[in-house]
Amino acid sequence: MFGIGPSELFIIAIVLIIFIKPEDVPLLLRKVGQMYGQFSQLYRAAAREINEIQQIVPTNMHMPRLDDVSTAPAPSEEKQQLESERN
């Protein structure tokens, strides 16, 4: 999943042994597991929300892209255009 191979796991184990007391390793691993579980739950919830939004929003609806926004007139120019069209 993360592309971690045996050599990377070995290096992580060595770092844990050097910097963390052996009696603290199980607590650390438990906390990392809990954080991973919370991250997974948040990821799944976000994916569900995105899927729901995709089902609600029509697929043929034009969504502004970044290049559309950069070429759009500035608000003051747009206001001047509207005023000139009224007159």
CA distances (Å), origin 28, targets 10, 14, 15, 40, 76: 17, 15, 13, 18, 56
Query: Residue 87: what pLDDT?
Result: 65
pTM for this prediction:
0.48
pLDDT tens-digit profile of 14-56? 888 888 888 888 898 899 899 999 999 999 999 999 888 878 7
Q: How confident is the model at residue 59 (pLDDT cuts 50, 70, 90)?
A: low
Amino acid at position 6, single letter? P
Residue 81 structure tokens: 């255009």
pLDDT at 31: 93
Give the Cα-Cα-Cα angle 25, 2, 24 (nearest 5 degrees): 5
Q: 63 falls in which pLDDT band (50, 70, 90)?
A: low
